Structure 1
Amino acid sequence: MVDVLTEIEIKLPVNVVSDYAMNPDHAPEWYVNIHSAEWKTPRPMTIGSQIAFKAKFLGRELAYIYEIMEYEPGKKLVMKTAQGPFPMETTYTFESLDENLTRMTLRNTGNPTGFSKVFSPFMSTMMRKANMKDLKKIKSILEG
């Protein structure tokens, strides 16, 4: 079982941070390992929307489709793999600490299977490092 929670504070209003972070088109800009995001269902985002991502993790190319399970603009986004190398759920939450400061949290939970199961003992550590890189990158992009 993998359960990784990371967070960062970004010096911008919650709506600015969440609008950017919840838009799958921006994922390749701030996720170090994601190379592309392609909508499989029509926009705009809603519960049931599906987005195909291509990424590289542990030296392997991964292709997976996330389905939107929960979507509360400005507050929360929950995505779950509909297809992919292992079942994973990703949750973004956004909390306004004041009018120009937002806490963004990123949580990944899942059960590695197959090839990934071999790396299970290290998966949480590697994901935590990758997630912190991603959060630092989104912070630098947004804060300029």
Structure 2
Amino acid sequence: MVDVFTEIKIQRPVDQVSGYATNPDNAPEWYVNIQSAEWQTPQPLKVGSKVAFKAQFLGRELAYVYEISEYIPGKKLVMRTANGPFPMETTYTWEALSDNSTLMKLRNKGNPTGFSKIAAPFMSTMMKRANNKDLKKIKDILESEN
């Protein structure tokens, strides 16, 4: 089992942070490993929406489709892999700390299979490192906007 939790404070209002983070078109900008995101279902984002991602992780190219399983705008987004090499659930939550400050939390959990199962402890460490970079990048992007 892989279960990775990271969080960061961003000096922007919760609706701005959550709006940017939940737009798949922005994912390649702030996710270190994501190279592309392609809508599989019509926009806007809602429960049942599907987005195909291409990513690079541990030197391998991964292609997978996330399906939105829970979405409360400005509060929470849960997406699960509909297909791909590694069954994964990603959860974002946002909490307003003040009018211009948001606590963003990111959690990835999954049950690796096959070779991935052997590498799970190593993968957890690498995922946490990547997630911390991703959160730092979204913070930098959003806080540098005027």
User: How does the TM-score come out when normalised to structure 1?
Assistant: 0.98
Count the aligned residue pairs. Answer: 144
Equivalent position of 1:123 in the other structure: 123
Partner letter of residue 91 of structure 1? T
Spell out structure 1 runs of 4+ moving beyond 2 A.
none
State how far apart, in whole Å, the 2-side matches of 1:21 and 1:6 are.
15
Partner letter of residue 58 of structure 1? L
Kindly, what percent of the aligned residue pairs are identical? 73
Taking only aligned residues, the RMSD between alpha carbons, in angstroms, comes to 0.6
For the pair 1:64 / 2:64, whether they are aligned, the reply is yes
User: How does the TM-score come out when normalised to structure 2?
Assistant: 0.97
State how far apart, in whole Å, the 1-side matches of 2:86 and 2:51 are.
16
Question: Which 5+ residue runs of structure 1 have no aligned equivalent?
Answer: none
Deviates more, 1:32-41 or 1:120-129: 120-129
Deviates more, 1:110-119 or 1:15-24: 110-119
For the pair 1:30 / 2:30, whether they are aligned, the reply is yes
State how far apart, in whole Å, the 1-side matches of 2:40 and 2:106 are.
23
Equivalent position of 1:89 in the other structure: 89
Equivalent position of 2:50 in the other structure: 50
Partner letter of residue 14 of structure 1? V
State how far apart, in whole Å, the 2-side matches of 1:47 and 1:69 are.
5
Partner letter of residue 56 of structure 2? K
State how far apart, in whole Å, the 1-side matches of 2:121 and 2:100 are.
38
Per the TM alignment, residue 113 of structure 1 is displaced from its structure 2 partner at its CA by 1.2
Question: Which 5+ residue runs of structure 2 have no aligned equivalent?
Answer: none
Equivalent position of 1:12 in the other structure: 12
State how far apart, in whole Å, the 2-side matches of 1:139 and 1:9 are.
8
Per the TM alignment, residue 118 of structure 1 is displaced from its structure 2 partner at its CA by 2.7
Partner letter of residue 82 of structure 1? A
